[in-house]
Amino acid sequence: EMGKTFPQYQEILDQKNTQNPDLNLKGLTMEECLLVEVAADLEGFHFESQTWTWLLEEQVLDKKGLPVRCLYASWYVDGVGVNSDDSSIQYSNKGARFAAVPKV
């Protein structure tokens, strides 16, 4: 699931939870994303550069409750950067990954 907008990934997450409520998935927070990067680094794994992940739990909503700005994490050889962007953005030259974890 690469190259989609924030709302498209939110739809995918909602569909997965509807199809299998036992999954009880949610998107990553910034803190969870950074912990994943540290854990991966400690194991010697590095995410591909030029990829990024929408952090589905990190968003600014408009008056209608729709996401307008969202955080995403960009993976680099030497670490991770966290930025915000318009929720409708798609980069054709970069891959966006969908990431979710079980709710606790």
pLDDT in tens, 53-91: 888 888 899 999 888 998 888 877 777 788 888 888 876
Task: Between 45 and 87, name the one with better pLDDT.
Answer: 87
Cβ-proximal residues to 55 (8 Å cutoff; 6+ apart), any chain: 27, 28, 29, 30, 33, 70, 71, 72, 73, 82
Identify which has the larger pLDDT, 35 or 79: 35
Answer yes or no: pTM beyond 0.95: no
User: What band does 52 get if pLDDT is binned at 50, 70 and 90?
Assistant: confident
User: What pLDDT band is residue 95 in, cutting at 50, 70 and 90?
Assistant: low
DSSP state of 22: G
| Dihedral angle sign, alpha carbons of residues 6, 4, 101, 34 | negative
